[in-house]
Amino acid sequence: MKVKQVMLANPRTLHCSKTLLDASHLYRQTKVNCAPIVDDEGNVVGILTVFRLIEAIEEGATFDTRVDQIMDTNLQIIDEDTCFKDICEQTIDRLLIFNKKQKLTGVLTRIDLINKVHGALENTEHKLAEAFESNQELRSIIEASYDGIIVVDSQGLIQIVNKSFFRVQGFHDDPTGDSVEQLLIVCRDLVIQVYRQVMAEGKVAFARYKGKDLTELGITGSPVLDEQNHPERVVISIRDFTELNQLKLQTARFSQELKSLRAKEQKDLIYHSSAMERVVNEALQVSGVDSTVLITGESGVGKEVIARTIHRNSPRAEGPFIQINGGAIPENLLESELFGYEKGAFTGANKEGKPGMMELANGGTLLLDEVGDMPLNLQVKLLRALQEQEIYRIGGRVAIKLNIRILAATNKNLENLVAEKKFREDLYYRLNVVPIEIPPLRERKSDILPLAKHFLDKVNNKYQLQKYFSYEVCKLFEEYNWPGNIRELANLVERLVIMSEQDAIFPDQLPPSLFAKFSASPIRVAIDQLIPLKEAREIVETELIVKALKEYPSLRRAGEVLGVAHTTLLRKARSLGIPYND
């Protein structure tokens, strides 16, 4: 601090001819306790303090006495740029302060000095208290951080460690004062690497630690720069992502479970296989958005069922689900079915006009079933309607705005149809936004029995029956390749339940395509002479029935093994003359 910063600047002066009364007026007016005395040229010739004035009055001077008669002429003059601490050591009462041009710029008395020092002390104390408070605040902030924080100085020594650091690292001993290199933590090497990088480059550095069991730590080093922009310490924060990762995993599992539960809730959607689970999950995933979905798969695999599942789980669930079959409706009717018509549009048309399927589906979902069978000229109109989201009824002039979600289904290979120019490429891309392919039943064998059971329960409930399939029938169901897929299975189950006379359904009631497998036994029968077929059949049947009845005391079980109903077995045994006591 310089003297000019503490002196009383630009003091009022008194001319040497002035009296003590003038001096005391000056003291009172300016609230100072000394005044420099100047001559006619303005040169400082003395100084008069209040103390000296009182002393002079006591010694007999009056208020009319001239100031130059009692003023102090022993002048102590110093430069205004002198260091404050240098003058503190001098035993002075008063000082006159001059600038480099020897012009009086201020005065300084012992009282001023004491006041200044006292003021400065108070100021320092205040600043210290403030610094202490903000330091405390800073420590509390560092402590409150959920991230682990360590502050390392430029020598690599740890200055501050917060509580979270101990939590993140499972650390017990306080490493404050240790070298960062001595840390015994899992990500020590990365912490050192980050510290060194920040010290070398003076800017923020990152590193990521990935351990086992989802453990993941993010390490960030930030420099604290000195006045020369050199890092004087590094604040290293360690963020623990492990819990977040565990939560993410848990959330993913829960949402997967939720999806499966939601899917299983769909009463009419039966599946067990992972292939079908994937399909259902895709359907549920896509149900939340309005994207067009192209559902492919062989006939009868459940394309419509999946389309309904998408609609039922979509925000449009409350809206209509309209289905139009491109293959089932004659070509000349398809256009009016799709777009509707105005009254008098063509001969034979309804007098009032009629809305088309697209219009009826407004606010809901339109399933274009068998889309591969749609005639080319209609494909163009369909594409335009999908792109412009509006249609005109046949014979109509007013555009009807569409708000529909399109689902398309086909058992044809649309790519092949595009190559053969039977399906428009642009429409194909417009429909194939999200493809969902449903595998045939033979590729998801674990679905066969749950589906068979589902259809059996339905028919049993409908007709108040208790029919069931024998073990062999179930085996044959699983082995069969179901060219008609689920539709074939559903129809067969209904037929078997209705046609069978007893509760158990055996292989001999199955259609030949299925029964053939059963009868094609791999067991070979040795033949050494030619005999009539009827005779041969009777010999083999007798042997088998005798053997079965011997091994299985229950007629029902013996029948099951032979693949016939127990009533059939009994009838056969009797006709072949095999004794049986029931």
Ligand X SMILES: Nc1ncnc2c1ncn2[C@@H]1O[C@H](COP(=O)(O)OP(=O)(O)OP(=O)(O)O)[C@@H](O)[C@H]1O
Q: List interacting residues with ligand X (CB under 6 A).
A: 268-271, 297, 299-305, 369, 409, 411, 451, 454, 486-487, 490
Find, among 160, 166, 172, the residue nearest to 236 by Cα. Answer: 160
The least distance separating ligand X from the CB of residue 268, rounded to whole angstroms, comes to 5
Minimal CB distance to ligand X: which residue? 302
The least distance separating ligand X from the CB of residue 474, rounded to whole angstroms, comes to 18
Which residue number, 257 or 268, has a Cβ lying nearer to ligand X? Answer: 268
- Token match 């072949």: residue? 576
Which residue number, 134 or 481, has a Cβ lying nearer to ligand X? Answer: 481
Task: Give the side-chain half-sphere CA count within 13 A for 96.
Answer: 23
Identify any residues that bridge with 293 across adjacent strands, giving them in sequence order: 407, 434
Which residue number, 34 or 441, has a Cβ lying nearer to ligand X? Answer: 441
Euclidean distance between CA atoms 357 and 368, whole angstroms:
10
Q: Is 515 exposed, middle or buried (0-12, 13-18, 19+ CB in 10 A)?
A: middle
Backbone phi, psi, residue 108, to 5°: -145, 120
The least distance separating ligand X from the CB of residue 329, rounded to whole angstroms, comes to 14
* Tally: H helices and E strands in the chain: 22, 23
Which residue number, 298 or 335, has a Cβ lying nearer to ligand X? Answer: 298
Which residue number, 369 or 472, has a Cβ lying nearer to ligand X? Answer: 369
Which residue number, 18 or 454, has a Cβ lying nearer to ligand X? Answer: 454
3-state secondary structure of 51: helix
The least distance separating ligand X from the CB of residue 517, rounded to whole angstroms, comes to 23
Euclidean distance between CA atoms 288 and 310, whole angstroms:
8
Euclidean distance between CA atoms 259 and 281, whole angstroms:
7
The least distance separating ligand X from the CB of residue 526, rounded to whole angstroms, comes to 46
Which residue number, 240 or 298, has a Cβ lying nearer to ligand X? Answer: 298
The least distance separating ligand X from the CB of residue 292, rounded to whole angstroms, comes to 17
The least distance separating ligand X from the CB of residue 543, rounded to whole angstroms, comes to 43
Identify any residues that bridge with 69 across adjacent strands, giving them in sequence order: none
* DSSP string for 69-83: HH-B----EEETTSB
Backbone phi, psi, residue 83, to 5°: -70, 140
Do the beta carbons of residue 18 and residue 39 sit within 8 Å?
no
The least distance separating ligand X from the CB of residue 266, rounded to whole angstroms, comes to 8
Which residue number, 8 or 305, has a Cβ lying nearer to ligand X? Answer: 305
Sheet strands side by side (includes 231-240): 158-161, 148-153, 231-240, 216-225, 205-210
Do the beta carbons of residue 421 and residue 247 sit within 8 Å?
no
Which residue number, 153 or 437, has a Cβ lying nearer to ligand X? Answer: 437
The least distance separating ligand X from the CB of residue 409, rounded to whole angstroms, comes to 6
411 vs 19, 425, 434, 497, 575, CA distance in Å? Answer: 123, 17, 16, 29, 50
